[in-house]
């Protein structure tokens, strides 16, 4: 199994855990320009531009919340919990629920208990069709296994998300908010494909757990989200430091990079 490989024991990674003040500020602000751009474009009925900006907002939001799941945002634990709450309201779902199932995904990667990876076992087109079911099953599983503290966060985030949806359709002159709700619901439905299938299809629980990328251009356009085998091997390393980790892994285990996202 890759995770237990003795050849990885000498890979240095602890020096990558620290984020400086400017790095933390950058991580926290990463999605804000895209949220502003999507809202502005929607306000002027420029919906193709709005959709492009919303896609990038959702992508960068996933990066932020993914780091939050592992307390790798450079914030205190309590501040990280509130960051997940804020992202839940913006992305319309419970990010504490996603955290519960994501940490189970790391413990049971691609196994029977890994509800997050359900789409990885399917052909790509079926992973897309699974989309609307995926967030429902994920939230249901999280509520069933969460601790009381986690369940309180989940219910609060779901309540806040529902309030946003109700406001979008109850208040007058909020077409931008209605657009945002529709875009985020679409994003949630595509998560099973873009955030799971892309990085895990064709992988095995007792072999290569995930795919990865190589090349500076690919890293930039994907906000470094697709260094996924690196993330599974060292989940505490912040996303922005994964390219450094990838180079270190290539020096001792170049075969880990054989399975690529693209």
pLDDT in tens, 134-157: 999 999 999 999 999 999 999 999
67-71 average pLDDT score = 98
Integer Cα distance of 259 and 39 in angstroms: 37
For the CA atoms of 110, 128, 66, 41, the dihedral, rounded to the nearest 10 degrees, stands at: 170
Q: For residues 145 and 148, give the distance between their C-alpha atoms in angstroms, rounded to a whole number.
A: 9
Query: How many residues are present in the chain?
Result: 262
Domain boundaries, the chain: 18-203
53-78 burial, b at 16+ Cβ within 10 Å, e below that, comes to bbbbbbbbbbbbbbbbbbebbbbeee
Torsion of CA 164, 98, 230, 18, to 10 degrees: 70
pLDDT at 205: 86
State yes or no: pLDDT of 188 exceeds 50: yes
Q: Is the pLDDT of residue 229 over 90?
A: yes
Tens of pLDDT along 74-130? Answer: 999 999 999 999 999 999 999 999 999 999 999 999 999 999 999 999 999 999 999
Higher pLDDT, 86 or 2: 86
The per-residue pLDDT of the chain, averaged, comes to: 95
Helix (H, G, I), strand (E, B) or coil at 194: helix
**pLDDT tens digits, residue range 7-54?**
688 899 999 999 999 999 999 999 999 999 999 999 999 999 999 999
What are the φ and ψ backbone dihedral angles of 260, each rounded to 5 degrees?
Answer: -110, 150
Q: What is the pLDDT of residue 206?
A: 82
In this prediction, what percent of the chain has a pLDDT beyond 70?
97
**Percent of the chain topping pLDDT 90:** 93
């Amino acid at each position: 199994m890759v995770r237990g490989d003795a050849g990885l024991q000498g890979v240095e990674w602890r020096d990558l855990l620290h984020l400086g003040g400017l790095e933390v500020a950058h991580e926290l602000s990463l999605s804000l320009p895209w949220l502003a751009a999507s809202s502005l474009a929607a306000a002027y009925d420029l919906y193709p531009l709005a959709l492009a900006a919303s896609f990038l907002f959702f992508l960068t939001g996933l990066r932020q919340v993914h780091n939050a799941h592992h307390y790798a945002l450079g914030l205190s634990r309590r501040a990280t919990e509130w960051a997940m709450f804020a992202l839940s309201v913006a992305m319309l779902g419970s990010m504490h629920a996603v955290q519960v199932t994501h940490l189970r995904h790391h413990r049971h990667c691609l196994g029977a208990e890994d509800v997050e990876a359900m789409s990885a076992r399917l052909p790509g087109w079926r992973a897309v069709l699974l989309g609307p079911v995926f967030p429902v099953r994920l939230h249901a599983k999280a509520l069933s296994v969460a601790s009381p503290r986690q369940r309180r966060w989940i219910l609060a985030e779901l309540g806040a998300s529902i309030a946003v949806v109700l406001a979008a359709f109850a208040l007058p002159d909020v077409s931008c908010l209605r657009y945002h709700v529709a875009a985020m619901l679409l994003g949630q439905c595509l998560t099973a494909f873009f955030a799971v299938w892309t990085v895990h299809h064709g992988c095995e629980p007792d072999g290569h757990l995930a795919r990865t990328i190589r090349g500076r251009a690919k890293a930039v356009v994907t906000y470094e989200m697709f260094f996924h085998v690196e993330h599974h091997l060292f989940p505490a390393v912040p996303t922005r430091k994964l390219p450094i980790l990838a180079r270190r892994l290539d020096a001792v285990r170049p075969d880990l990079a054989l399975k690529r996202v693209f």
